[in-house]
Structure 1
Amino acid sequence: MCSGIAPPLSPESGTEGRSSGKMFSLIKLRRVFTVHQVPKAFHEDSIISGYRHPRSSATDCVLSLFQLTNETLNVWTHFLPTWYFLWKLMTVLLMEDAWYDAYTWPLLVFLISCCVYPLASSCAHTFSTMSTRARHICYFFDYGALSLYSFGSAISYSAYVFPDAWVNSTFHAYYIPVAVLNTILSTSLSCYSRLGLPFLHYNHDIDERFSERQSPRLSKVLRILAFAYPYLFDNIPLFYRLLLCVGEGCTDNEANSIHLQHTSLAFLTAFLFATHLPERLAPGRFDYIGHSHQLFHVCAIIGTHFQMKAIEADMVLRQSQLLATAPPITFNNTVGSSLVCVSISLGIICLFSLPLLYGSSETHPTKTEGKKCKH
């Protein structure tokens, strides 16, 4: 087990750690390290400094939120918005007829997913430096939450956003079942992108044998595909409504401009996630503030806000028409389907986590850490 003492640093890196601590820390905290002082599993593309100790305790992880590291803003840019979406959820739940009005259920499912994904993300970024295994498991849950958010979007789109011309169509009938399958595929593929298949590509002895070490580019492509495909499928009715539909049945209302704002931000979010800009242009310059993952978080949250506003606008503006023409909203095609997705996703996450949960002690300390830790 690790002694809990930070690994000795070179005089140069120690000076850097002390100066950054004096400048940025609100309270006295452990030093931060460079990319060369932490295991490869913790490396971030073009991020040179600001890394936390790779064997931090849970308390250290929480305290690090009040120190500027390369993860601090990743946490706060998702943790604070969680409370905003929770407030929006509570305003709907406290409506007198929210529990009994089936027309409201898709909005509730969507708002719950909006609360879950930023909370899961902030927790993953907070506790991912407890160990290499903890890092993988944290992000498995993060990926599952993103898959749930995609499914929540599909539920609300099916109920409120489908263009008039597609309401009650064959595509509409199969839209939710396919979204369920997409959620399962998204969770599975995103978890697979970290380590491969449990027990086959990795086990209790080695937990970073697959793509992130051997094929980082393949890992990134698989992860992008895991989230891009469900998003593109979910938005087929919206893309048709905004870009292709002409004439009768196109649902031209005030919500369209808000949908365009959300869609633009969604593509900007994907661009930032895929390109690692701006830090790739100037490695080390954006380690603490302004790197792509922070911008990705901010754009995602703002985009989700506009998405919520657009969904609410469609819900109100089209209520009488949809209640008369759309398929009935039931427990099975809203809350029930969501519970199925949550259950299966949790099962997938547990399957990928089992080799890590019941493994032996970690075997990937930093070079200097080996002097202080016994395995």
Structure 2
Amino acid sequence: MLLNCGQPLPLLRHTDVPPRVIENFILTGYRFPNYSLRDCLWSAFRPTNETGNFWTHFLPVFVFFYYFAEVFGWDGARHADDSFFYPLWNYFIGVFCLLMASSLAHLLNSMSIVVREVCFFVDYGTISAYTVGSSLAYYYYIHPRAGLLETQGQNGSQLVQDIIGSIKPSYAMPDFSVFFDSLYIPSACVVAIVCVLSCCNTRQKWRQYRYIIRTFVFLLPFFISSTPIFYRLLTKSPYSDKSSSFVASNTMAVFFYRHCFWLLLSAVFNISKLPERLAPGRFDIWGHSHQWFHCFTSLSILDELHMIKAEIRAILLCPTLLLPPASPPRLPGPTIASTYGVMLLLQTTIVSIIVWFSWRANRIYGPQRDQLAKDHMKKHTKCH
């Protein structure tokens, strides 16, 4: 227990904990890897080498929710449970699970060596789920045809034709049409699964290069998920340059560049292990690289949310371009199956992967966990 005879258990040096627990260049502030659940929760308010890791992803949950909820108070916004917002809710679920899983993984990982492995398997799984949640939001709000009615033919109203008369054709090449319509979401899901498998493997193999592998593995889903944004940046806006939608959508580029900048910084800190590499032991509690990694990823997610909100506002400012329930749009509107169904199928697959790796971890580290538990009980059964 954290309170042993009225005194908190001392934080340990890297020489006093199992090698599995040691982080590069972090010399002190380690918790003993047999804390109870209660002890772990209390440790959030005690300066350890994991305290900053917890708070730098737990507090952003509330910041993200504040800016997320703004969308439903906009003029012209549909009700929160309208199908138009299904992709946005899936994005919210992905971000919420990512931030909560990450913060709890850092808070609870000292319960045992096996629990530590499971915590970070779940962490990797939620990162992959988040990338697919982002892809769903990109697909329905930033897709080259997002929110636009079929413009060909003579059945459209003159008002619609006037609004979209200056729109550039949605695709520059037929191959892009095939990718966006049929391959984009499946590709995002497949890449997400590959990422989970690769990152979970780095906890049992390739440990010397684990930070480099994990960082570069998640670059792939970034490039796949961001293809609608790349296309939008390289082509003409789908909105008339005289419309308020154009003004709203035009801010997307700034938010995307900032999103990329924060991601780049997070990757640099995650791989370089700065600043603790320059002064081992000095940044054990506050200011080490993983805390900066968390801060920059949170900022990247916040700018990504602003980018998505800019596109939603652009669509809402042009009601005639909204996906109508009565007429067949060029891009089918979001449904429960195409949003929640996709995420449910993905999460089921990810959970299966996590269960498999957790079973393997229990076989590998279970005996070590049991021995540490015995030693821990012998050491702390009496008051001194």
Q: What corresponds to 2:354 in structure 1?
A: 349
Equivalent position amino acid for 1:78 in 2? H
Contact map agreement 2:68 2:305 (CA 8 A) in 1:
no
Q: How far off its partner does 1:126 sit?
A: 0.5
Alignment counterpart, residue 28 of structure 2, candidates 49, 63, 66? 49
CA–CA distance in structure 2, aligned partners of residues 169 and 36 of structure 1: 57
Verify: 1:113 aligned to 2:87, yes or no: no
Q: What corresponds to 1:21 in structure 2?
A: none
Verify: 1:330 aligned to 2:335, yes or no: yes
Structure 2 CA distance for partners of 1:136 and 1:331, relative to 1, 3 Å: same
Contact map agreement 1:58 1:130 (CA 8 A) in 2:
yes
Q: How far off its partner does 1:80 sit?
A: 1.5
**Structure 1 SS opposite 2:303:** helix
CA–CA distance in structure 2, aligned partners of residues 143 and 246 of structure 1: 34
Equivalent position amino acid for 2:300 in 1? G
Equivalent position amino acid for 2:369 in 1? E
How does the TM-score come out when normalised to structure 1? 0.79
Moved more, 131-140 or 79-88: 79-88
Alignment counterpart, residue 139 of structure 2, candidates 158, 166, 172? 158
Alignment counterpart, residue 232 of structure 1, candidates 223, 226, 235? 223
CA–CA distance in structure 2, aligned partners of residues 365 and 228 of structure 1: 37
| 1:1-375 matches, cutoff 5 A | 29-87=8-66, 97-99=79-81, 101-163=82-144, 165-166=170-171, 169-173=177-181, 174-195=183-204, 210-212=205-207, 216-217=208-209, 219-242=210-233, 245-247=234-236, 253-319=250-316, 320=318, 321=321, 323=323, 325-357=330-362, 359-360=366-367, 362=369, 365=372, 372=379
CA–CA distance in structure 2, aligned partners of residues 75 and 294 of structure 1: 9
Equivalent position amino acid for 1:187 in 2? V
**Structure 1 SS opposite 2:369:** coil
Q: How far off its partner does 1:349 sit?
A: 0.5
Structure 2 CA distance for partners of 1:278 and 1:239, relative to 1, 3 Å: farther
**Structure 1 SS opposite 2:218:** helix
CA–CA distance in structure 1, aligned partners of residues 78 and 193 of structure 2: 34
Q: What corresponds to 1:19 in structure 2?
A: none
* Percent identity of paired positions between Structure 1 and Structure 2: 32
RMSD of aligned alpha carbons: 3.0
Contact map agreement 1:46 1:279 (CA 8 A) in 2:
yes
Moved more, 254-263 or 147-156: 254-263
Q: How far off its partner does 1:326 sit?
A: 3.0
Gaps of 5+ in 2: 146-169, 240-245, 324-328
Gaps of 5+ in 1: 7-26, 196-209
Structure 2 CA distance for partners of 1:363 and 1:221, relative to 1, 3 Å: farther
Structure 2 CA distance for partners of 1:290 and 1:139, relative to 1, 3 Å: same
Structure 2 CA distance for partners of 1:120 and 1:81, relative to 1, 3 Å: same
The number of residue pairs the alignment matches comes to 330
Contact map agreement 1:187 1:226 (CA 8 A) in 2:
no
Contact map agreement 1:70 1:287 (CA 8 A) in 2:
yes
How does the TM-score come out when normalised to structure 2? 0.77
CA–CA distance in structure 1, aligned partners of residues 171 and 15 of structure 2: 55
Q: How far off its partner does 1:5 sit?
A: 9.4
Equivalent position amino acid for 2:190 in 1? L
Residues 51-80 of structure 1, C-alpha deviations (whole Å, 9 max, x = no match): 111221212111111111111010011112
Q: How far off its partner does 1:335 sit?
A: 1.2
Equivalent position amino acid for 1:118 in 2? L
**Structure 2 SS opposite 1:280:** coil
Q: How far off its partner does 1:88 sit?
A: 5.0
CA–CA distance in structure 1, aligned partners of residues 3 and 206 of structure 2: 31
Q: How far off its partner does 1:96 sit?
A: 6.7
Contact map agreement 1:29 1:64 (CA 8 A) in 2:
no
CA–CA distance in structure 2, aligned partners of residues 322 and 144 of structure 1: 34
Structure 2 CA distance for partners of 1:97 and 1:361, relative to 1, 3 Å: same
Structure 2 CA distance for partners of 1:364 and 1:291, relative to 1, 3 Å: farther
Greater C-alpha Rg: 2
Equivalent position amino acid for 1:278 in 2? P
